[in-house]
Structure 1
Amino acid sequence: MPTILITGANRGIGLELAKQYAGDGWSVIATARDPKTADGLKALKGDIRIEALEVTDEQQIKALAKKLDGVAIDVLLNNAGMLTGYESFGETDTLSWLKTLHVNSIAPLKLMEALVEHVARSKQKKIVSISSGMGSMGGHASSGAYAYRSSKAALNMVTVTAANELRPRGISVAVISPGWVRTDMGGAGATLDVKQSAAGIRKVIDKLNVGISGQFFNYSGENLPW
């Protein structure tokens, strides 16, 4: 069966994706900052391997890649992300912004770089990162959340650039917005539950190929404006 590696798999969408993929017989490598406290993840059934990973720690990323030497990863799913707040104009904090950029924009690329050979040796050869409609400039019609919005816009550019470089190797790269989901990040007023979002994300991943690599998809399948 195919193998997927999911970062930030201890809660929310990541946990639901791990559950659904494992339930369908996939081998799941699920990462969490502290596996000891990832009770929901440890309770899942199936072929699940839990690994500790702080995505901003490049030494941990390299160590994980070495630990997984020889493993073929069909789908690398950069799900780990952070939202520090919905700061308005005049309320931004530089250190918080930099941390958000590190988690949401830089870490996904460092994981791609560290694990690209694992992906290249697989059958499906897919790299997907969870972005957000809040990172879309073409569809932007609200305000605030400067750090989060800019970090997701940066992730989108990272993805397009990586897609261009990895296309000759047959590796497909894309970003997917999960929609507004009822999680710790999305809040109780969100319009989707995690099951709906995760199921939609999986359908997009299933259809991903080199011919449509480098695109920005909504969980429901349609293209989103950059």
Structure 2
Amino acid sequence: MKKSVLITGANRGVGLALVEVYLAAGWQVNACCRRTNHASELKHLQAHTDSLTLHELDVTDHQAITALSQELADIPFDLLINNAGYYGPKSYGFGNTDADEWRKVFEINTIAPLKLAEAFYPQLIANTPGIIANISSKVGSMTENTSGGGYIYRSSKAALNSVAKSLSNDLSPQGIISVALHPGWVQTEMGGPNAILSTCDSAQKLKTVIDNLTTKQSGGFYNYDGSVIPW
């Protein structure tokens, strides 16, 4: 029986590369994005395989998350990858933080991963040990923050790390692993063209880390190369 993964934010960047990597590895992939009519590359992939199913999902719509979980209730998932993310405004300084944008970033980066974990918890239990991989960022590390700024995105990822840790504490007794993962500086719309990793490299390295996770590592914060990132 094929292993199954649910990936959010799957229409571009690291999310799309993760879809490609897991398909290549023989997994059944359920890929979510906000608007499937803007997901031409996913549709192209779907046309050439029976192992990919697309779902239109706004991760800030909690009723839609619940409905999708109910729709997929018979699928025992091995892995949930909370990849959907939003950076928010750039090039703002201290004193110019947009509170409305801050709320939007938190809705997508922090609240949505928890709501997805809650909704798909039964399917993960059905295939214990299930894994919840939360795509975070090194900028959410307090130790690594030596430059200041970035209040909105930094705080959302620091909060996501806390969510990942709490999920670990709550779900580890039942064999479910929850971790926060840094994908590296990747050549995406967010990372820019000068980034050191391609999306394919990042996705492959993330899969390697996920493949080798043990229950003892649950609750940790890990780099794309598997090294531990300090909180």
Alpha-carbon displacement from aligned partner over 1:160-204 (angstroms, at most 9, x marks no partner): 011000011100000100011010111112111111111110011
Equivalent residue number for residue 23 of structure 2:
22
Alpha-carbon displacement from aligned partner over 1:78-118 (angstroms, at most 9, x marks no partner): 00000013332111010000110110000000000000011
Q: Could you tell me how far 1:124 is from its partner in structure 2?
A: 3.9
In the aligned structure 2, how far is the partner of 1:28 from the partner of 1:124? 18
In the aligned structure 1, how far is the partner of 2:169 from the partner of 2:179? 11
Q: Could you tell me how far 1:50 is from its partner in structure 2?
A: 0.3
| Change beyond 3 A, Cα 1:123–1:165 | closer
> Moved runs in structure 1, 4+ residues, more than 2 A?
none
**Maintained 8 Å contact 1:85/1:145:** no
**Maintained 8 Å contact 1:65/1:114:** yes
Q: Could you tell me how far 1:209 is from its partner in structure 2?
A: 2.1
Equivalent residue number for residue 88 of structure 1:
93
Equivalent residue number for residue 11 of structure 1:
12
Q: Could you tell me how far 1:223 is from its partner in structure 2?
A: 0.3
Equivalent residue number for residue 167 of structure 2:
162
Alpha-carbon displacement from aligned partner over 1:188-226 (angstroms, at most 9, x marks no partner): 121111111111100110011211100000001100011
Q: Could you tell me how far 1:60 is from its partner in structure 2?
A: 0.5
TM-score normalised by L of structure 2: 0.96
Q: Could you tell me how far 1:143 is from its partner in structure 2?
A: 2.6
1:144 has 2:149 as partner: yes
- 1:43 counterpart SS class: helix
Equivalent residue number for residue 108 of structure 1:
113
**Maintained 8 Å contact 1:8/1:31:** yes
Give unpaired runs (5+ residues) of structure 2: none
Residue type of the alignment partner of 2:32: T
Residue type of the alignment partner of 2:163: V
In the aligned structure 1, how far is the partner of 2:35 from the partner of 2:179? 28
- Give aligned-pair identity as a percent: 44
Residue type of the alignment partner of 1:2: K
Deviates more, 1:186-195 or 1:106-115: 186-195
1:57 has 2:61 as partner: yes
In the aligned structure 2, how far is the partner of 1:191 from the partner of 1:137? 23
Residue type of the alignment partner of 2:112: A
In the aligned structure 2, how far is the partner of 1:141 from the partner of 1:199? 29
Equivalent residue number for residue 211 of structure 1:
216
1:71 has 2:75 as partner: yes
Equivalent residue number for residue 97 of structure 1:
102
Structure-to-structure mapping, 1:32-47, within 5 angstroms: 32-44=33-45, 45-46=48-49, 47=51
Q: Could you tell me how far 1:123 is from its partner in structure 2?
A: 4.5
**Maintained 8 Å contact 1:75/1:124:** no
Q: Could you tell me how far 1:4 is from its partner in structure 2?
A: 0.5
- What number of residue pairs does the alignment pair up? 226
TM-score normalised by L of structure 1: 0.98
In the aligned structure 2, how far is the partner of 1:76 from the partner of 1:209? 16
In the aligned structure 2, how far is the partner of 1:11 from the partner of 1:138? 30
Residue type of the alignment partner of 1:29: N
Equivalent residue number for residue 191 of structure 2:
186
In the aligned structure 2, how far is the partner of 1:92 from the partner of 1:123? 42
Residue type of the alignment partner of 2:55: E
**Maintained 8 Å contact 1:88/1:143:** no
Equivalent residue number for residue 195 of structure 1:
200
